[in-house]
């Protein structure tokens, strides 16, 4: 009898404890439903439930999610934080937020107030949401194995200090950021202490500072993103084993604006990217052993600016077309390698018809060294005198680095 | 005024008959055609054209202007025996040279552009700017050539001076300013640089076009200063005003000297 009772209770508890998963409920929120607010639905919900929120205007932020639920918007419900507080704060694993508009998270100079904030959780998905005029957009702190997909994030602050980042990751790992568009934040995508992130097919544009900004984030993979018209372009720093491929860096204009700034990046690869119409296409400072190949540098002010503290980088098979300056540097010493690139300024010949020029190309012009020291001299760009100087310097190099040459430049553009 | 027009009409007919002008027209036609045909990208064509415009136009205007004035010596003497004012004759001759050179330049670059180039707003603006700078440079350097011819009776001497004049503005001036800049590296040089550009018509024209072409390079810090000046309407007006001043100054001086000259 006792044993039977034990079994009965065991079964009962087993059933009860797992009931939530077996019979996950769907809860509806909205006009005419049992729950008028998301908060009351959350109170009633249990782990594994789905909460459907109908279209309408909800001003009940902040909403703290401490259960593993999915929150799904139907007909675009709008959550307004009324410029005071945060939108959604997620403190449970396995949470999904989908199809919701969140707007007006408050600006704070002490706290990082966000539209969606994830704190110390894993396996969460934030997708297909619209985030408007928030301080921070999506904020992940100590998060793992999660995804941020297909969100449209837009802000319109004018000052860097009064603006947060579109997608902000801190101390997280295994995160996928995919197909988002971010506009008008401070930094479009910001990473600090992130491991194994995948950033794919995002568009980050017109942000006040950087389109993409990361530090101490090793082994991350960036592919197919577009970074356009950001205040200072893209800056990546203090990181190892980064792969950047098929990204577009376009129209980043300004005195301190770069298509891509590599600062102390090592053992990384940058290939198949397009750098178009930036003040400086690629700026490398203290970066070592980076392989830069098969990129297109078109119509930049400076295609590549390579500081002398960058060592053992290899530039190969890149196209340099229509740039005002191909390569600029700050020293006569230099320890990087350029090989088999196509330079539209190359005037050599190819007698043995192997597709590679027989005389080396010197991509650093004397004039670019002069401009580095005397920036005002830029006003003589394309002056006959400067061209004459350059020809003389190319014939008998004395000021430009002697070793910075492409020994076998391509005769035709790499397709 | 009517007499000026009459003189221009006659002179134009005379100039248009010369092989020089046809060669000049053909040069621009072939060059622009070749560039559009083989350089590919339109912005590269405009860059190459700009280099030619800034070097060749002042050179040809200088040399052709001086030669023309010397060769017309008998014509001038004959005309002045008629009841014609000296200023009318001088203006008429100068205008006919400047107009005929400008017209052949414009035809030479426009026809290939319309045939082969991509005509869109961005391109059209840069192209128009290029054409306008070419015309202004023609007027400036032909008036300078006339001044040189008026002040020097000796043909060889005048010819040499007008060549030197061209060399000075096309090359030497930039060299002097560049080395001055390098020597005074530690001082803020933006405003002096701006003034220096306005002092050389070739430089003013170059910077005006550059601001459309190499905008990404010029958007660096110093670039921003130039962009601010040349990029807004006031800056462009000042630049154009200075170019017009460059036409007027040698012309008025030349005219004054011509009036008092013992032919």
Q: In chain B, which residues have their Cβ closer than 8 Å to the Cβ of A278? A: 216
Sort residue B112 into left (φ over 0), alpha (ψ -120 to 50) or beta.
alpha
End-to-end, the C-alpha distance of chain B in Å comes to: 24
Helix/strand/coil (H/E/C) assignment for every residue in chain B: CHHHHHHHHHHHHHHHCCHHHHHHHHHHHHHHHHHHHHCCCHHHHHHHHHHHHHHHHHHHHHHHHHHHHHHCHHHHHHHHCCCCCHHHHHHHHHHHHHHHHHHHHHHHHHHHHHHHCCCCHHHHHHHHHHHHHHHHHHHHHHHHHHHHHHHCCCHHHHHHHHHHHHHHHHHHHHHHHHHHHHHCCCCCCHHHHHHHHHHCHHHHHHHHHHHHHCHHHHCCHHHHHHHHHHHCHHHHHHHHHHHHHHHHHHHHHHHHHHHHCCC
Cα distances (angstroms) measured from residue A268 to each of A148, A232, A244, A401, B223: 25, 22, 8, 25, 32
Let me know whether A175 and A28 are in one domain. yes
Report the domain count for chain A: 2
**Distance from C-alpha of A236 to C-alpha of A214, rounded to nearest angstrom:** 5
What is the maximum alpha-carbon separation in chain B? 62
Q: How many CB pairs under 8 A join A and B?
A: 104
Q: How many helices (H) and strands (E) does chain A have?
A: 4, 39
Let me know whether A219 and A254 are in one domain. no
Q: In chain A, which residues have their Cβ closer than 8 Å to the Cβ of B172? A: 385
Let me know whether A183 and A241 are in one domain. no
Let me know whether A244 and A154 are in one domain. no
pLDDT tens across the length of chain B (263 residues): 788 888 888 888 887 778 888 899 999 999 999 988 887 677 778 888 898 899 999 999 999 999 999 999 998 999 899 888 999 999 999 999 999 999 999 999 999 988 887 778 778 888 898 999 999 999 999 999 999 999 998 999 999 999 999 999 999 999 999 999 999 988 888 888 888 999 999 999 998 888 877 776 676 666 677 777 877 778 888 888 899 999 999 999 999 999 988 87
With an 8 Å Cβ cutoff, is A253 touching chain B? yes
Mutate to test the interface with B, among A253, A297, A376, A382 (most CBs of B within 10 A): A376
**The domain spanning residue A163 has which CATH number?**
2.160.20.10
Phi/psi for B55 (5° steps) reads: -105, -50
Instruction: Mark which of A168, A193, A225 sits at the end of a domain.
Output: A225
Torsion angle defined by CA atoms of residues B245, B246, B251 and B257, in that order, rounded to the nearest 10 degrees: 100
**Banded model confidence at residue A347, pLDDT cuts 50, 70, 90:** confident
**Banded model confidence at residue A22, pLDDT cuts 50, 70, 90:** low
Let me know whether A131 and A256 are in one domain. no
Let me know whether A155 and A264 are in one domain. no
pLDDT digits (tens, 9 = 90+) for B153-191: 899 999 999 999 999 999 999 999 999 999 998 888 888
Report CB contact under 8 Å: A255, B219.
yes
Let me know whether A43 and A173 are in one domain. yes
Q: Give the 3-state secondary structure of residue A385.
A: helix
Q: Which member of A301, A325, A379 has the closest CB to residue B226?
A: A379
**Distance from C-alpha of A232 to C-alpha of A253, rounded to nearest angstrom:** 7
With an 8 Å Cβ cutoff, is B172 touching chain A? yes
Sequence ranges of the domains in chain B? 2-260
Let me know whether A158 and A301 are in one domain. no
What contacts A319, CB < 8 A, 6 or more positions away?
A295, A296, A297, A298, A341, A342, A413, A414
Angle, helices B201-213 vs B173-183, to 10°: value is 70
Instruction: Mark which of A207, A225, A243 sits at the end of a domain.
Output: A225
**Domain-embedded: residue A17:** no
Let me know whether A375 and A391 are in one domain. yes
Write out the residue range of the structural domain in which residue A349 sits: 232-415
Let me know whether A193 and A262 are in one domain. no
Instruction: Mark which of A225, A248, A266 sits at the end of a domain.
Output: A225
**Domain-embedded: residue A5:** no
With an 8 Å Cβ cutoff, is A268 touching chain B? no
pLDDT digits (tens, 9 = 90+) for A195-249: 999 999 999 999 999 999 999 999 999 999 999 999 888 999 999 999 999 999 9
Let me know whether A220 and A93 are in one domain. yes
Let me know whether A145 and A236 are in one domain. no
Say which residue the tokens 């789905």 belong to.
Answer: A50
With an 8 Å Cβ cutoff, is B89 touching chain A? no
C-beta separation of A233 from A255 below 8 A = no
**Domain-embedded: residue A7:** no
**Banded model confidence at residue A25, pLDDT cuts 50, 70, 90:** confident
**Distance from C-alpha of A57 to C-alpha of B36, rounded to nearest angstrom:** 59
Q: What is the pLDDT of residue B237?
A: 84
**Domain-embedded: residue A10:** no
What is the mean predicted confidence (pLDDT) over A42-56? 92
What is the mean predicted confidence (pLDDT) over A27-47? 90
Q: In chain B, which residues have their Cβ closer than 8 Å to the Cβ of A328? A: none
Strands A226-228 and A203-205: parallel
With an 8 Å Cβ cutoff, is A384 touching chain B? yes
Scanning B223-242 for CB atoms below 8 A from A yields: 223-224, 226
Q: Which residues pair with A168 in a beta bridge?
A: A139, A190
Q: In chain B, which residues have their Cβ closer than 8 Å to the Cβ of A385? A: 171-172, 174-175, 178
Peptide bond into A115 cis (omega under 30): no
């Amino acid at each position: 009898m006792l044993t039977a009772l034990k079994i009965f209770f065991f079964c009962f508890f087993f059933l009860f404890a797992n009931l939530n998963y077996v019979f996950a409920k769907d809860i509806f929120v909205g006009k005419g439903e049992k729950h008028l607010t998301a908060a009351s639905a959350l109170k009633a919900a249990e782990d594994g439930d789905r909460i459907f929120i109908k279209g309408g205007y909800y001003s009940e932020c902040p909403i703290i999610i401490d259960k593993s639920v999915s929150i799904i918007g139907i007909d675009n419900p709008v959550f307004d934080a009324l410029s005071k507080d945060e939108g959604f704060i997620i403190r449970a694993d396995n949470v999904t937020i989908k199809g919701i508009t969140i707007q007006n998270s408050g600006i704070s100079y002490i706290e990082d107030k966000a539209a969606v904030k994830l704190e110390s959780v894993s396996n969460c998905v934030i997708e297909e949401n619209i985030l408007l005029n928030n301080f921070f957009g999506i904020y992940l702190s100590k998060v793992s194995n999660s995804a941020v997909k297909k969100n449209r994030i837009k802000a319109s602050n004018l000052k860097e200090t009064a603006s947060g980042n579109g997608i902000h990751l801190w101390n997280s790992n295994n995160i996928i950021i995919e197909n988002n568009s971010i506009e008008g934040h401070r930094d479009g995508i910001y990473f600090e202490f992130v491991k194994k992130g995948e950033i794919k097919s995002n568009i980050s544009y017109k942000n006040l500072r950087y389109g993409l900004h990361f530090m101490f984030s090793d082994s991350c993979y960036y592919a197919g993103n577009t970074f356009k018209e950001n205040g200072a372009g893209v800056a990546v720093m203090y990181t190892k084993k980064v792969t950047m491929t098929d990204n577009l860096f376009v129209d980043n204009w300004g005195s301190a604006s770069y298509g891509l700034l590599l600062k102390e990046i090592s053992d990384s690869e940058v290939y198949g990217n397009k750098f178009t119409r930036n003040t400086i296409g690629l700026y490398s400072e203290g970066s070592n052993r980076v392989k830069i190949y098969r990129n297109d540098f078109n119509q930049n002010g400076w295609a590549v600016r390579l500081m002398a503290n960058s060592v053992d980088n290899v530039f190969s098979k890149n196209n340099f077309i229509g740039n005002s300056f191909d390569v600029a540097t700050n020293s006569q010493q230099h320890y990087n390698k350029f090989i088999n690139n196509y330079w539209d300024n190359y005037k050599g010949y190819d007698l043995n018809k192997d597709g590679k020029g027989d005389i080396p190309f010197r991509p650093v012009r004397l004039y670019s060294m002069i401009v580095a020291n005397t920036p005002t001299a830029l006003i003589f760009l394309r002056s006959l005198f400067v061209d004459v100087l350059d020809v003389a310097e190319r014939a008998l190099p004395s000021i430009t680095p002697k070793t910075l040459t492409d020994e076998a430049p391509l005769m035709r553009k790499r397709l | 005024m009517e007499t000026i027009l009459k003189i221009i009409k006659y002179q134009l007919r005379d100039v248009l008959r010369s092989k020089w002008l046809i060669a000049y027209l053909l040069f621009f036609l072939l060059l622009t055609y070749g560039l559009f045909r083989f350089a590919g990208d339109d912005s590269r064509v405009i860059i190459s054209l700009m280099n030619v415009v800034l070097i060749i136009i002042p050179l040809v205007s200088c040399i052709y202007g001086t030669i023309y004035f010397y060769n017309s010596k008998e014509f001038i003497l004959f005309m002045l025996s008629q009841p014609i004012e000296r200023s009318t004759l001088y203006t008429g001759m100068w205008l006919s040279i400047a107009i005929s050179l400008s017209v052949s330049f414009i035809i030479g670059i426009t026809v290939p552009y319309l045939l082969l180039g991509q005509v869109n707003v961005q391109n059209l603006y840069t192209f128009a700017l290029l054409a306008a700078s070419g015309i202004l440079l023609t007027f400036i350097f032909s008036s300078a050539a006339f001044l040189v011819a008026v002040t020097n009776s000796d043909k060889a001497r005048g010819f040499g001076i007008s060549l030197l004049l061209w060399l000075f503005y096309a090359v030497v001036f930039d060299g002097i300013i560049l080395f001055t800049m390098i020597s005074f590296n530690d001082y803020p040089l933006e405003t002096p640089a701006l003034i220096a550009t306005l002092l050389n018509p070739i430089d003013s024209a170059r910077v005006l076009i550059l601001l459309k072409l190499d905008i990404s390079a010029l958007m660096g810090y110093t670039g921003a200063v130039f962009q601010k000046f040349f990029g807004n309407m006031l800056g462009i007006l000042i630049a154009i005003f200075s170019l017009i001043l460059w036409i007027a100054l040698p012309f008025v001086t030349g005219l004054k000297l011509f009036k008092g000259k013992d032919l």
